[in-house]
Structure 1
């Protein structure tokens, strides 16, 4: 079964340059041809967001390898830790990061092979028998992501192909995303939320992804308008930035502020869209919904975006849960909550209020750390999140 195939359309746009599905698959096949790896050998991907990042992930999968996606801001010591912890056979990087990679390789005396995508000719003619990248086996480790390491050294979270697909399948089941959707990729791809939902899911569904090369409100607005974006996935600080600007302008006008309060009291979405059409147009006029994840979103910001005429869907999850555990649905948003569990995911609260989770989305474990894995996933398969929650009806609320 194919994970991605030639859809005869544009797959990704970066710096106003379009790359078709075929071109992305060809890129992946070229990268794949340069790697001599066995099944589930690890390949580190260490670069900024760009189409070649997608090609690298698909190229590793084409060889049935495991992508070890690293933070592009890692320093030499952090890279050495990864080299010594998981012994990747290759590292795929760019001109932007090549010097750090060379230094880390030298200082660690690692045998890792370096592929610099800026030195690889992706325009050359190659023969492609099947213009597609196949799915991995369900239990194969598809990606490995390093936790931030706030307590002790970072741990390599092993996510299987089925872990990743559990989230993708759930989104498909509730028909939230279609091949006609256009997603704006703001967040770095080494985090599971953007990797899953602005790289893997759109490619699986046949959407268009626009990769932002500059994180500013002006650049975001320009891309929203130019490419008629329908879905944006961001973290609270992105929405806080926009909220502050929009609310500030509304408060400058007594009439606008009065209209805002009227819309707030009536809470009628079609009316909100008409009253705040200027804000809708500033966001390109095509937004289906906005997504917030990665940290808690202020309840007022969620409610205000609703008044501006947008559906703001907040969700909750962790790297270890691929990532989504629960999220608000388009037709069932309760601000201040993180929605209801994903289809196929069980959530319960322990006596002390800790959220524990069971389902296809729960990781295989931490790489080479059986004790840490046993501590996180109990004998009955429940993953202990370390977060405290409560239920508001069937909606989950994070309280600490």
Structure 2
């Protein structure tokens, strides 16, 4: 059953928890894997409430977040693998005085920058550690907090308009900026999202994206508290596939990369299967498309639809069972989802919807609905959200979701929030029949030496349809032609090389002229709808994995263009200095 708590009833984010305990004290709230026992365990809302009061060591992020907010303090989350320079900036810009950190090893790893954290007064370690490691600064959290079974009380100064969190955007260039969000920013965003989706107390969310990011925090944490659903925390990113099967969630939010990996596995399995199985799979996609269009009110009945129950049982249900068997909706956000991946899932009967947002908008601006799922669109603006396109083509948004501003940075705030309260998203888009379509980033347009302008993200999305690649980046700023730097899918590129008769010994196959020529043909086939000047002339393949660890992507896995150009500067220059031959 539905049991939503409105922002007015809650009053603040910790007020959500207090109201939830009043309504469903014994319903399952949080589920987590215990490494010590090797078993899953869960806590009810009543137990979560008590844990917040004395901050016992379990499901720590949620507990400490709620406790901190109830005290009227501001939460500043930090990504665990953030660079040292960014950590110093975040600490000193925010003026953070208290750090809650998982273990003493993580704190010790920050030793080179301890002296640079100017305002830090106390470090609380969640996991027990040796007394010899304790100092005036560092404490075991259970030695520091109150252990009395107290009632949770919200500080009298906490209101809906109080500051709740400063979230530092990972950004693709420069130092992170602190996005200041209020309790109402976040609650209004979660509440508006619930007007587009049915979420029941019996639902289970699988949470695996970092809670340092507002997509997971709003949609995967505060929204379930608001609706009374259970949150199940995956053991880690690598075990998401297993945890889907064992925990059987009904709802999941994710980034496109997760769906892309599932897509690649299915496509590889189909390629290795018999002609009969491939034919059944393709028939399922064809009939599934007709079913989807009819369901969306965009197509009529067709005799082939009589085959759908059987085809879904043979194909779609097996894919769904591989994801736990109960998923009712998957929301993809954070980056564009390649069209072919979206089509495969929805045509197999697995509802994947795309949304759009940014940290500065708490974060969701728009999202598709399962029964109003428009191809290529990121959906309609949420209730209470206004959207329009500026003369420059930039998408603007307005509403209670818009941040208060950038912390300590009024100049940057004025650049993105105009005098009328419109948030300038930096994305180029269109609005068709009330639905948003994002086409590119305003400041990422490539201007070639011949004056032609190219939208790199549109090209990159088309190229990512080739399953041989992972992340890709188009480059050609002030250059005569475009090149592509591509992270390869190693097993698939090796198989492709074998088919072409190219030796993979020593890993030099990615530089082979025949292989690169064939790949360029595949790439430009995907770009057939673009002008001739927007075709890729040269290619550099790499076995490097682009990730936050090597700073080639942000923490939300968006590529860092400047970092990639710098990292591969020698290879880029080689591609342009030898324009008539592939890079070797």
TM-score (norm 1): 0.89
Is 1:255 aligned to residue 264 of structure 2?
Answer: no
Q: Is the 8 A contact 1:239 1:301 kept in 2?
A: yes
Describe how 1:213-292 pairs up with structure 2 within 5 A.
213-216=235-238, 219-251=239-271, 252-266=273-287, 267=289, 268=291, 271=309, 273-276=312-315, 277-292=317-332
Equivalent position to 1:22, from 21, 46, 49 = 46
Residues 130 and 385 (structure 1), Cα distance of their counterparts in 2 relative to 1, 3 Å cut? closer
Describe how 1:83-232 pairs up with structure 2 within 5 A.
83-95=91-103, 96-101=105-110, 103-118=112-127, 119-121=140-142, 126-130=148-152, 136-216=158-238, 219-232=239-252
User: How far did 1:110 drift?
Assistant: 3.4
Q: Is the 8 A contact 2:50 2:149 kept in 1?
A: no
Paired residues in the alignment total: 381
Which residue in the other structure is 1:392 paired with?
Answer: 432
Q: Is the 8 A contact 1:192 1:323 kept in 2?
A: yes
User: How far did 1:315 drift?
Assistant: 0.5
Residues 346 and 225 (structure 1), Cα distance of their counterparts in 2 relative to 1, 3 Å cut? same
Which residue in the other structure is 1:43 paired with?
Answer: none
Residue deviations 1:336-361 (CA, integer Å, cap 9, x gap): 21011111111100112100000111
Residue deviations 1:75-115 (CA, integer Å, cap 9, x gap): 43322212211111211111152224565333334343111
Residues 355 and 142 (structure 1), Cα distance of their counterparts in 2 relative to 1, 3 Å cut? same
Residues 293 and 134 (structure 1), Cα distance of their counterparts in 2 relative to 1, 3 Å cut? farther
Which residue in the other structure is 2:494 paired with?
Answer: none
User: How far did 1:141 drift?
Assistant: 1.3
Describe how 1:294-373 pairs up with structure 2 within 5 A.
294-373=334-413
Query: Aligned partners of 1:135, 1:235: CA distance in 2, in Å?
Result: 37
Unaligned runs of 5+ in 1: 33-49
Query: Aligned partners of 1:112, 1:128: CA distance in 2, in Å?
Result: 25
Residues 388 and 23 (structure 1), Cα distance of their counterparts in 2 relative to 1, 3 Å cut? same
Deviates more, 1:121-130 or 1:174-183: 121-130
Is 1:81 aligned to residue 86 of structure 2?
Answer: no
Q: Is the 8 A contact 1:91 1:113 kept in 2?
A: yes
Residues 79 and 258 (structure 1), Cα distance of their counterparts in 2 relative to 1, 3 Å cut? same
Query: Aligned partners of 1:353, 1:246: CA distance in 2, in Å?
Result: 37
Unaligned runs of 5+ in 2: 1-9, 34-39, 128-139, 293-307, 441-584
Query: Aligned partners of 1:134, 1:232: CA distance in 2, in Å?
Result: 35
Q: Is the 8 A contact 1:157 1:366 kept in 2?
A: yes
Query: Aligned partners of 1:135, 1:3: CA distance in 2, in Å?
Result: 16
Q: Is the 8 A contact 1:143 1:160 kept in 2?
A: yes
User: How far did 1:132 drift?
Assistant: 9.0
Alignment RMSD (CA, Å): 2.4
Residues 306 and 149 (structure 1), Cα distance of their counterparts in 2 relative to 1, 3 Å cut? closer
Residues 142 and 109 (structure 1), Cα distance of their counterparts in 2 relative to 1, 3 Å cut? closer
Q: Is the 8 A contact 2:71 2:154 kept in 1?
A: no
Higher strand share: 1
Query: Aligned partners of 2:357, 2:84: CA distance in 1, in Å?
Result: 30
Query: Aligned partners of 1:142, 1:212: CA distance in 2, in Å?
Result: 26
Is 1:71 aligned to residue 84 of structure 2?
Answer: no
Deviates more, 1:234-243 or 1:21-30: 21-30
Q: Is the 8 A contact 2:379 2:436 kept in 1?
A: yes
Query: Aligned partners of 1:389, 1:397: CA distance in 2, in Å?
Result: 5
Residue deviations 1:290-330 (CA, integer Å, cap 9, x gap): 11100010011001001222100100110001111111101
Residue deviations 1:3-27 (CA, integer Å, cap 9, x gap): 1143213221221232332332223
Which residue in the other structure is 1:4 paired with?
Answer: 17
Which residue in the other structure is 1:42 paired with?
Answer: none
The structure with the largest alpha-carbon Rg is: 2
Deviates more, 1:329-338 or 1:271-280: 271-280
Q: Is the 8 A contact 1:22 1:131 kept in 2?
A: no
Residue deviations 1:221-260 (CA, integer Å, cap 9, x gap): 3222222210111101111001111122233232232223
RCO higher in structure (CA 8 A, sep ≥6) = 1
Which residue in the other structure is 2:521 paired with?
Answer: none
